[in-house]
Amino acid sequence: MRVMITCFPAPAHFWPLVPYAWALQSAGHDVRVVAPSGFPSPTGIISTDFAQRVTESGIVAVPCGPPTPLAVHDCDDPDFADVLPNPEETERYVRALSVHERVERDMWDVFYHYAILAIRNYQPPRPREDIDEIVAFAKDWRPDLVLWEPWFPCGAVAAKASGAAHVRTLISPDYTAWAHERFVSKGLPSMLAEAMQPLAEHHGVTVDDELLMGQATLDPIPAGMRLPTRTPTVPVRYLPYSGGSVSQHWLRAEPTRPRVAISLGVSARAVDKGDSTGRIPALLEAVDGLDVEVIATLNKDQLSDQVETLPDNVRAMDYVPLSQLLPTCSALVNHGSFGTVIAGIAHAVPQIVCDTDEPTRFFGRATPDGVEWDRTSPKQGYSTLTANYLADRGAGSRLDHQKQSISEIRSMLRRVVEDPKVRDAALRLREEEWASTPTPAQLVPWLEKLAQER
């Protein structure tokens, strides 16, 4: 059968989908990744060479439309200013939706400040040429099945317009379903449905729950990390992939002392152009003098003006694939993104997740030169969720550099590296909550049946 995969054109959105493409392709199906052409957005949130990233994975890429600025982040839509996140609107919705400040506020913040804004970049009030080309390709190629991720729901429109079966494929906790259900339960117009309406009408498609939530949802989120929604899902194992790479010769030798990886996110540093929070200096000071070897995947922007000299036991490298680094590590210090945390779980590595009590919000103000962004916190949107998940299971700890002293951070590092109970918990987490879930390859017959029934 023909399978079309669509996603936001950025590695962080594509990489979680690669194992599905491989599984379907290995089963003899024709798989294409269909997405907008890359664009050198100054925001850094999309890839300038997205088609190349796809072909490097061994999948056929179908770039659609000319390189085009983002509707909101790059001010390409005339009404971009109307949908910029602002403090008044977010608080108004918090009250209208009865969002519980302590329990649910992070869920709302990730949806409002990140997910819906990403969706509006490619689903603005005036349909875009690149998205129209995606729908046109689907009508011409006639896929049997479309896989799409929630931050790029135009894939559902392409599926409906071409008559294909379509499956929503989560790449992170299900913030869009949680928010959509909350709007509906309060009798309010769904922000997600409103964002999809112009594109759907343009292509003669009805906006309903199937369009918004898919005919089915593949869910790689561990049960203890899922958001409370009524949307039924099909569990699947998240298989970490971080791009093609050349084997690192120095990683073949056994470490002479425990190795600790520090990974604070490639996507985040592309957007933030550094780290002004003081987190990196605190981490480096804490590991200084410990009997560990530290591999810190930090670039020059993250080190400049913050770190005069690296500790003797720290090796800073711009990038090392986690798939190669983690099997050699005794601990992983990270920013709490879903993909990084699951990679640690897959390799049974104890983890420390950097998190703070700050909100995950940012606001935009239109200016003559574009948008002036005000980020109240650069922390990862999922960090509290992932930190609590690991800590509750004894497989890691939560690190708040704003409240914990260097001595406390150092003690935490020692415990995570040396305590056999933490290592056992990490191994148990891998076996009981990750390895016990069906792989994408095991779900191929189910996907084939879904497409045939359609």
Q: What is the dihedral of CA 181, 232, 176, 340, to 10 degrees?
A: 150
Taking 90 as the threshold, does the pLDDT of residue 102 lie above it? no
How does pLDDT run across 106-123, given as a tens digit for each residue?
A: 999 999 999 999 999 999
| Exposure letters 196-205 (e unless 16+ CB within 10 A, then b) | bbebbeebeb
Within 10 A of 318 (CB to CB), how many other CB atoms are there?
Answer: 11
8 A C-beta contact, residue 110 and residue 381: yes
pLDDT given at position 299 = 85
**Helix or strand (DSSP H, E) at 231:** none
Query: What's the mean pLDDT in 44-69?
Result: 95
Confidence of residue 74 (pLDDT cuts 50, 70, 90): very high
Q: What is the CATH number of domain 250-434?
A: 3.40.50.2000
Residue 326 sits at φ, ψ, to 5 deg, of -60, -35
Looking at domain 2-237+437-453, its CATH class is alpha beta
Letter for the amino acid at 43? T
Taking 60 as the threshold, does the pLDDT of residue 270 lie above it? no
What span, in angstroms and rounded, lies between the C-alpha atoms of 208 and 191? 13
% of the chain surpassing 70 pLDDT = 96
Helices within 306-405 (DSSP H only)? 322-325, 338-346, 383-392
What span, in angstroms and rounded, lies between the C-alpha atoms of 68 and 133? 13
What span, in angstroms and rounded, lies between the C-alpha atoms of 4 and 32? 5
Count of H-run helices and E-run strands, the chain: 20, 15
Mean pLDDT for the chain overall: 94
Are both 2-237+437-453 and 250-434 of the same fold?
Answer: yes
How does pLDDT run across 153-195, given as a tens digit for each residue?
A: 999 999 999 999 999 999 999 999 999 999 999 999 999 999 9
Within 10 A of 43 (CB to CB), how many other CB atoms are there?
Answer: 16
Query: What's the mean pLDDT in 295-314?
Result: 83
pLDDT given at position 243 = 87
Domain ranges of the chain: 2-237+437-453, 250-434
Model-level pTM? 0.94
